[in-house]
Amino acid sequence: DAKTTQPNSMESNEEEPVHLPCNHSTISGTDYIHWYRQLPSQGPEYVIHGLTSNVNNRMASLAIAEDRKSSTLILHRATLRDAAVYYCILRGQTGANNLFFGTGTRLTVIP
Amino acid sequence: DADVTQTPRNRITKTGKRIMLECSQTKGHDRMYWYRQDPGLGLRLIYYSFDVKDINKGEISDGYSVSRQAQAKFSLSLESAIPNQTALYFCATSDLNRWIAGGPNEQFFGPGTRLTVL
């Protein structure tokens, strides 16, 4: 599976937007870009996914570069509850389609 | 009630003991997974099962075995526990049909089992 690169940590002030970057320069044409997050003392939870176009849902937005070599998870107004580790994961359409987690980005939200 | 449950939530055991971690789900999903997480690291896949007759090794299966007793139950065993198996263990499920339909094959995780091997 293609690899992703994320910053180890980021900080944001409460109620401000947060842009979490992810580089995936070896992404293949059929790889979906997935984001999961892990709140303290919990299992990971799905946030959003996309293939080529930008995506929005109730939790976040996903902006995908035109060449698909990078993407950005956008939290429009960070809350204290958004403090978590965010994982950017590529998912292929063949094989086992399992999730391969890296170390993610630890987001700290400052009140 | 939680859709994916794990028992026990915490376990302390000694080197050489046999340990079983259990996972149950009420989501009706066919796929189930076991991951472990070490401090400061992401999750690594141990085993996965696409149905009761299908068991597959993941990235780090050595020292572990699994049993898929029913569609809703997937157990992870440590035949002879060792200290470097001290970790947080997560079970997850996903829906094959949702993947076939073009969905993201979203995985749903349990709350985790914290295992300490002394």
Condensed to tens digits (0 to 9), the pLDDT of residues A55-65 reads 999 999 999 99
Secondary structure of A51-94 in HEC code, one letter for each residue: CCCCEECCCCEEEECCCCCEEEEEECCCCHHHCEEEEEEEECCC
Which of the residues A31, A38, A91, A98 would you substitute to probe the B interface, choosing the one with the greatest number of B C-beta atoms within 10 Å? A98
Cα angle at B92 between B47 and B37, to 5 degrees?
A: 70
Q: What is the pLDDT of residues A15-29, one digit of tens each?
A: 999 999 999 999 988
Q: What does the alpha-carbon distance between residue B2 and residue B26 come to, in Å, rounded to a whole number?
A: 8
Residues of A in contact with B45 (CB under 8 A): 98-100
Q: Choose between B24 and B96: higher pLDDT.
A: B24
Is the model's pLDDT at A34 over the cut of 60? Answer: yes
Q: What is the pLDDT of residues B66-102, one digit of tens each?
A: 999 999 999 999 999 999 999 999 999 998 777 766 6
CA distance B92 to chain A (A): 9
CB contact under 8 A, B104 and A100: no
Q: Choose between B87 and B39: higher pLDDT.
A: B87
Confidence of residue A97 (pLDDT cuts 50, 70, 90): low
CB contact under 8 A, B107 and A101: no
* pLDDT number for residue B26: 96
* pLDDT number for residue A44: 94
CA distance B90 to chain A (A): 7
> What residues in chain B have their Cβ under 8 A from chain A's Cβ atoms?
4, 33, 35, 40-45, 48, 56, 58-59, 90, 92, 99, 104-112
Q: What is the average per-residue pLDDT within A41-68? A: 93
Q: What is the average per-residue pLDDT within A48-59? A: 91
Q: Does the beta carbon of A74 lie under 8 angstroms from any beta carbon of chain B?
A: no
Q: Does the beta carbon of A40 lie under 8 angstroms from any beta carbon of chain B?
A: no
Q: Does the beta carbon of A46 lie under 8 angstroms from any beta carbon of chain B?
A: yes
Q: Choose between B97 and A2: higher pLDDT.
A: B97
Q: What does the alpha-carbon distance between residue B31 and residue A109 come to, in Å, rounded to a whole number?
A: 34
* pLDDT number for residue A1: 54
* pLDDT number for residue A62: 97
Confidence of residue A68 (pLDDT cuts 50, 70, 90): very high
Is the model's pLDDT at A95 over the cut of 70? Answer: no
* pLDDT number for residue A103: 86
* pLDDT number for residue A37: 96
* pLDDT number for residue A91: 82
The burial of A35, by beta-carbon neighbours within 10 Å (0-12 exposed, 13-18 middle, 19 or more buried), is given as buried
Nearest by CB: B107 against A42, A46, A103: A46
* pLDDT number for residue A85: 96
Confidence of residue A99 (pLDDT cuts 50, 70, 90): confident
Q: What is the average per-residue pLDDT within B9-22? A: 97
Which of the residues B109, B113, B114 would you substitute to probe the A interface, choosing the one with the greatest number of A C-beta atoms within 10 Å? B109
